[in-house]
Amino acid sequence: MVRFFGNPAFGCEVQKALVDFDKGNQLGLANVAQEYSSTLGRVNGAQAPSEFWYYWRRFFKFSDTNQLTPQELGQVDVESFLGGLGAMESTLGKPLAMKGMIMNWHIPYLAKLSDRFFCVSARVP
């Protein structure tokens, strides 16, 4: 799905066609054991969890740091960003859960974008 960051709803449809609608598991993608680990953000397997950074970076123009200025945040195409996430939810028929660590500096910004976001900031002891 992450390969289709430019049209994530289409990526969801492709995944459904390759996994959900492959009742005989002819492609061998269904019921693959999930490993919830990565090596420097890289995972194995088509259905493995992903940061989906290509999607985030499409809207949030990071440079050397992941902290954007208020002016840079003001240039985000919020309507398209939220529209892509909403299209994924609609296509999958369920809510999304995303870690989005790339946005750690901007949790308050995300929380203001939509009342459908549930943003949590973890404190490290």
pLDDT of residue 71: 94
Give the pLDDT confidence of 65-113 residue by residue, as tens digits: 888 999 999 999 999 999 999 999 999 898 888 777 788 888 889 889 9
The Cβ-side half-sphere exposure at 25, using a 13 Å CA radius, reads: 5
Give the pLDDT confidence of 16-70 residue by residue, as tens digits: 887 777 777 777 666 555 566 666 666 666 666 677 888 899 999 998 888 899 9
Written as six digits, the tokens of 39 are 């090596």
pLDDT of residue 21: 76
Q: Is 22 left (phi over 0), alpha (psi -120 to 50) or beta?
A: beta
